[in-house]
Structures are given as C-alpha cells and as structure tokens.
Amino acid sequence: MKEKLYIIKIGGALIDDEEALDQFLNKFSNISGKRILVHGGGKLTSTLAEKLHVPQQMVDGRRVTDAQTLDIATMVYAGKINKSIVAKLQNLDCDAMGFTGADANLIQAEKRSVEEIDFGFVGDVNRKSVNSKLIRKFLKLDLIPVFSAITHDHHGDLLNTNADSIASVLAQALSKKFDVELLFCFDKDGVLEDVNDNSTLIEALSEDDVLKLKEEKKIHKGILPKIENALLAKKNGVQKIFLINETKLQEHIIYDNQGTEIC
C-alpha cells in the first residue's frame, strides 16, 4: 500500500493576505504525513515592477516575462514569498525547505516556444521535468518541500513557470510511489457555474463536463488553468484531485468532501 502524500497549491490572493495566509499555514501544519506546498506569486511582483518603472504586459491573465521582469519575479517568488512561508512554517514546528526548480535540478523546464505571443522567459513543464527520486529523499527525511514558481532550463537560465502546472507535474511524477492527493486551494468553494454564487458549486467534474461548460461559457477563464492542470494530472495517475476553498482545508482533510472533485 502506497504512503499518502498531499500536494497543495496556493495562489496569489492568499499570499497577499497575511492574516489569511497565517490561518491557512496553521491548518496546513496540522496535516499528518507527507506534504508538499506549491505557491504562486501575489501582487508584489506588479507592485515592485511599478516602483522600479518596469512595464508589465499581461496576455489572458498570463505575465509576459522579459529579462527585467524575470529578475523581479525571482526576487519575489523565490525570495520574499518563499522564504516568508518557510519561516512561518518553521514557527509552526514544520521542518520546511524552500526550493526553485533550479535547486538540485528538481524541476527542469523548457522555454516556451514563440507562436502568436512571445512570453519571454516562461518555462513549460511535464511529469518528466521532475527529479522525483531526490524529492522522495527529502520526503523520507520528513522535510516539507515548498516550491516557488521558478524553474530552470539547464542552460543557466531561470524561467517563470505557472504554479498550477508545477503542482500538477509534481503530483504526476510522485504518484508512482505515493498515494497522491492534489489540492488546488483558492478563494472560491470550487468550480462554480456562476462565479459570484457559491450555491452553484459543481461537486464533480469530468473532461466531458468541462467541454460542455466551455461551450456554454459557464467556466470563468481565470480558473481554466487549474482545471486543465487537474485534468492532466488525473489522466496521468493522480488518484484524488480537488479544487477547494483555502479556508476549508482542515474540513477537507478530515471529511474528504469539500469543493469540486476531478473525476
């Protein structure tokens, strides 16, 4: 029987709210067993870029990462945010260690090819990108890896990488040795037919359901990357995948019934 492993991804809205982040990490610290935390960035990258007079370009909610923006993102994601989360977890007696993909070659990405849009220093990953053997060694030592959304290309360049994608490929790679449960935590109760109405929660979602909802234009584009990465993980051996409200982490761990389950 495989050992249980939770891979939990948190986003920028939570990171921007220090009180909410503290409450979340307190719940995270109470989870028994193996855990990995993956985090994105918050508004700090845009705020710092504005202070430094570095123009920012967004395309469909995705950041175009030029050389200056990569420097800022690295400082914010891999520096300020990552180490603050690690310090908070140490305060909660969790022996956490912060990583980028470049550390010990844990996640190697490929720079995104230029098609209609040149996203610059943005990296794409898949399950073969992950150095799962070394991550398993960290987990065996009862360390809690905390991954920022920075990877590398093995040619000396860092790359800005979608944190949902990082969580998904980690889950896929580690599902061979662990009973992985992948949780995407954000500020909604799950996938909603009406993004402003929690009573429209969709409790279970398959690929066919997603196609239908997209045709009916009932899926908010902001949640699509999470859904797409969740479906990809499901196809590649991840046993349980949920999109849940970050405030209901503890309830989900206990009762296993929060949010939207990917079927």
Q: What percent of the chain has pLDDT over 70?
A: 100
Q: What pLDDT score was predicted for residue 220?
A: 75
pLDDT tens digits for range 31-51: 999 999 999 987 899 999 999
Is 160 marked within a binding site? yes
pLDDT in tens, 137-177: 999 999 999 999 999 999 999 999 999 999 999 999 999 99
pLDDT tens string 65-99: 999 999 999 999 999 999 999 999 999 999 999 99
Fold of 3-262: Carbamate kinase (3.40.1160)
Distance CA 42, CA 56 (A): 14
**In this model, does residue 215 exceed pLDDT 90?**
no
The response to whether 42 counts as a known ligand-binding position is yes
What does the pLDDT average to over 56-62? Answer: 81
- Both tokens of 159, joined, read 């790359």
Q: Would the pLDDT of 221 be above 80? A: no
Please give the Cα distance from 160 to 199 (Å, whole number). Answer: 35
**Confidence (pLDDT) at 146:** 98
198 is in an annotated binding site: no
Q: Return the domain boundaries, the chain.
A: 3-262
Residue 70 pairs in a beta bridge with none
